[in-house]
Amino acid sequence: PSRTIFERVLAKKRGERVPRKYKKLLKQFALTLDFLSPKAYRYVRRVFLSALPHPKTICNWYKNVQADPGFTKECLDTLKALVEKENLQNKKVVCQLVFDEIHIFSGVQKIGKKTYGYSTINTAAKSLNTQATQILLFMVVDVNGKWKLPIGYFPINSLTADLKSNLIVKAVSHVQETGTKLIGVTFDGAAVNFSAMNNLGACFDMESLISTIRINPDNKALPESMLYVFPDPCHMIKLIRNVFGEKEPFYDMDGNQINFKYIEELLKIHEESGLHLGNKLKRIHVYFKKKKMNVRIAVQLLSKSVADAIDYCRDVLQFPEFVGSEATSKFIRMMNDIFDVLNSRNRSDFGWKGAIWAENFSNVEEFCAIAKTYISNLHFRSKIQRKNVNCQTSGSVPLTNFKKKPLICSASKIGFLGLYICLENLPKIFSDYKNDLNPIGLKTYNLNQDSVELFFNSVRSRLGCNTSPTVLQFRAAYRKLITYAQIKEDSSGNCIAGLENVKILQVNPERCIQAINNVTVGHTEKILMPKFKDEMEFEEIIESQRAISIFSEEELTEHSTSQSVSEELPVLSEVQKSVICYIAGCIISI
């Protein structure tokens, strides 16, 4: 848009007539900047001689979209127009239906005769005047990764499984009426979501597993549709991390124990040595109770680099604390590979991180089968004592047996069950829809819930990311976001994408840069003395300059001879020696 703005500014400078119609690219820029900061938009517009649209003009653009609670007609019309355009090119629009809730600030607000803040969907036990505490959002995401489009939202207080399943049926019906082909439904690990899937025909009993739902649209002219159930892998991996870190140790199919204590021992080594064994493990990863919703922390804990570090401490350094950790490192590697398969983004990525296409589909299908077997055989153990009557003695000897309780059937099953369902459906999805995908293959990231999470992050950014919106504030942000606003997320929130925080150093740049750029200390003293506030500030800069100055040959000789022979280097631990050798090898290879 910079070229367009420059042309309009130049025309105003010359006194020429400026076109009243704004180009599409300039509209997108204006809408996005106005969404991020209305004050900044007005400042930029004033600096560039009113080359940007007037704020009232932007308001008129927004008036074309009502964006009231419910399914948004304008979004569905846009989707229908897109389908018609693709059909002319013999292409099909293939999407995933994603839904999730965002917590809001309860309160009732009025605009004219309309009132916002009440729950639009209520159970028989709740009155019509119940204030909403959440907003349920439905979104369709292009499986080929080109776009995403919210199709409606509902302020709610709480929903039963029956009400949620009815809303899902209506959402599917509206999307199918546009001619869009739906693959499946993505949701998080809330128990009501799994119950809603049960109402729609799914069955999550491992003996009779049905991982699809069948929906009869409200429009009888549309055929019955079968959709694949796809619990969000990001939420599932967090739930598995919680079980791994907070519950009792569990066991694999060979009876080997999987224990979180090896992660704690690895953290101790990191803290004692001051070095990390090629991973990002920190205290926040081990003591994660205050960061349970952060996906990045869960994924970094269950990563291949952590498993490699545990193996290194056990096999190479031979620390006794890591004896018997083979099953734990195998579990971590398996979770790492499963998440990579279910979160692939590019065909060129290495290993399981690559998109699924014809060349690697057989390998992915085989891995999914192996991973399902591994997950289904993870189990807890509970002790059972019984008496064994010894014929040669008059007494009885107590014997201890163990009863196996599969994790996928336990009270902590949601995370493991969710990944199992994803692994069950992923090969079927590719087989059924491979002809409708781009040549680059199926990027499984587009099946996840990150699109909704990033949309919620954009809504919160309107409020400074530090508070929940009201229904009216959500409506305003929703209307602006579906009107061309192109928002780049600045924080990860409850998803993978995002940037990490960078600390800002508090310096006095003008004077410090002058001091650092001078070559000799003598010249620095003569030139800079009058420019500092006091002698103390001047001495601090000079001392720091002396500290970083390079020794001359005479100074180096004098310094080396003045050192006491008794002074020795500190004793290095085995971990420190290993890290130093590794770094030295990398330097030599360069």
Summarize pLDDT for 536-560 with one digit per residue, the tens: 555 555 555 555 555 555 665 665 5
Q: Do 462 and 468 touch, CB atoms closer than 8 A?
A: no
pLDDT of residue 398: 56
Is 491 contained in some domain?
A: no
Sheet containing 212-215: order of strands: 70-71, 148-156, 134-142, 94-103, 181-187, 225-231, 212-215
Give me the domain span that covers residue 298: 235-419
Burial group, residue 367, by CB count within 10 angstroms (0-12, 13-18, 19+): buried
Contacts 24+ apart (CB under 8 A), 31-37: 31/58, 31/61, 31/480, 31/483, 31/484, 31/485, 32/484, 32/485, 32/486, 32/487, 34/58, 34/480, 35/462, 35/477, 35/480, 35/481, 35/485, 35/487, 36/461, 36/487
Based on the fold, state whether residues 93 and 117 are members of the same structural domain. yes
Residues 121 and 159 sit within 8 Å (Cβ to Cβ): yes
- Higher pLDDT: 367 or 291? It is 367
Average pLDDT of the residues in 445-454? 92
**Region 192-220: what's the mean pLDDT?**
91
In a domain, residue 401? The reply is yes
| Rounded distance between C-alpha atoms, residue 294 and residue 235, angstroms | 10
The confidence band for 9, taking pLDDT boundaries of 50, 70 and 90, is confident
467: which 2 tokens? 């508070």
pLDDT at 163 over 70: yes
Percent of the chain with pLDDT over 70: 79
Cα–Cα distance between 102 and 284 in angstroms, integer?
25
Q: Please give the distance of CA 147 from its chain centroid, rounded to a whole number.
A: 18
The confidence band for 512, taking pLDDT boundaries of 50, 70 and 90, is very low
Rounded distance, CA 174 to CA 187, Å?
A: 19
| Backbone torsions φ then ψ of 115, nearest 5 degrees | -120, 135
8 A C-beta contact, residue 214 and residue 201:
yes
Q: For 20, which DSSP code?
A: S
- Give tens-digit pLDDT for 40-89: 888 998 888 888 888 888 877 777 777 899 999 988 988 999 999 999 98
Overall average pLDDT of the 448-458 stretch: 90
- Is the pLDDT at 425 greater than 80? The verdict is yes
DSSP 315: I
Task: Give the β-pairing of 94-103 and 181-187.
Answer: parallel
Checking DSSP bridges between strand 212-215 and strand 181-187, what pairing results, if any?
Answer: unpaired
In sequence order, the β-bridge partners of residue 258 are 250
Determine if the pTM surpasses 0.85: no
pLDDT, residue 180, reads 93
**554 located within any domain:** yes
* Tally of structural domains, the chain: 4
Query: For residue 496, is pLDDT > 60?
Result: no
CA distance 242 to 254: 23
Please report whether residue 328 resides in a domain: yes
Instruction: Report yes or no on 279 lying in a domain.
Output: yes
pLDDT in the model for residue 463? 74
Name, in order, each residue with C-beta under 8 angstroms of 231's C-beta and a sequence gap of 6 or more.
186, 187, 188, 189, 193, 417, 418, 419, 421, 422
Final residue of a domain: which of 63, 84, 108? 63
Domain check: are 242 and 200 in the same one?
no
Q: What is the pLDDT of residue 123?
A: 61
Whether residues 347 and 463 share a domain: the answer is no
Say what the pLDDT of residue 521 is.
41
- Average of per-residue pLDDT across 263-271: 94
CB 436 within 8 A of CB 94: yes
Q: Is 302 helix (H, G, I), strand (E, B) or coil?
A: coil
Q: Which of 414, 444, 448, 413 is nearest to 426 (CA)?
A: 444
Judgement on whether residues 321 and 283 belong to the same structural domain of the protein: yes
Of the listed ranges 126-140, 464-478, 489-503, the one predicted with least confidence: 489-503
DSSP per-residue letters across 149-178? EEEEEEEES---HHHHHHHHHHHHHHHHHT
Q: Which of 374, 332, 369 is nearest to 240 (CA)?
A: 332
164 CB burial (10 A radius; 0-12, 13-18, 19+): buried
428 part of a folded domain: no
The answer as to whether 590 is a domain residue is no
Per-residue confidence band for 330, with pLDDT thresholds at 50, 70 and 90: very high
pLDDT at residue 568 is higher than 50: yes
Domain limit, last residue, from 419, 438, 472: 419
Using the predicted structure, report yes or no on whether residue 525 has a pLDDT greater than 90: no
Q: How far is CA 280 from CA 171, 267, 305, in A?
A: 41, 10, 8
* 528 pLDDT tier (thresholds 50, 70, 90): very low
Do 138 and 96 meet the contact criterion of CB atoms below 8 Å apart?
Answer: no
Strand partners, 213: 227
Q: Is residue 228 within a helix (H) or strand (E), and if so which, with residue range?
A: strand 225-231
pLDDT band at 1 (very low <50, low <70, confident <90, very high): confident
One domain for residues 317 and 457: no
- What confidence category does residue 570 fall into, taking pLDDT thresholds of 50, 70 and 90? low
Residue 582 pLDDT:
78
Give the pair of three-digit tokens for residue 270.
């990191």
pLDDT tens for 357-366 read: 989 999 999 9
Query: Which of 429, 464, 481 is a domain's end point?
Result: 481
Q: Are residues 213 and 251 in the same domain?
A: no
Q: What is the CB neighbour count within 10 angstroms for residue 89?
A: 7
Quick one: what percent of the chain has pLDDT higher than 90?
Answer: 47
**Angle between the N-to-C axes of helices 471-481 and 450-461, in degrees from 0 to 180, rounded to the nearest 10:** 110
Domain match, 116 and 208 both: yes
Distances (CA, A) of 102 to 154, 157, 297, 359, 459: 11, 11, 21, 40, 10
User: 79 and 185 share a domain?
Assistant: yes
Mean pLDDT, the chain, rounded, equals 82
Q: Are residues 526 and 511 in the same domain?
A: yes
SS (H, E, C) 401-453: EEEEEEHHHCCCCHHHHHHHHHHHHHHHHHHHHHHHCCCCCECHHHHCCHHHH
Residues in the chain: 590
Same domain assignment for residues 401 and 522? no
Tell me: do 310 and 254 sit in the same domain.
yes
CA dist 364 and 347 (Å) reads: 13
User: Residue range 254-260: average pLDDT?
Assistant: 95
Res 506 pLDDT > 70: no
In a domain, 587, yes or no: no
Same domain? 305 vs 376: yes
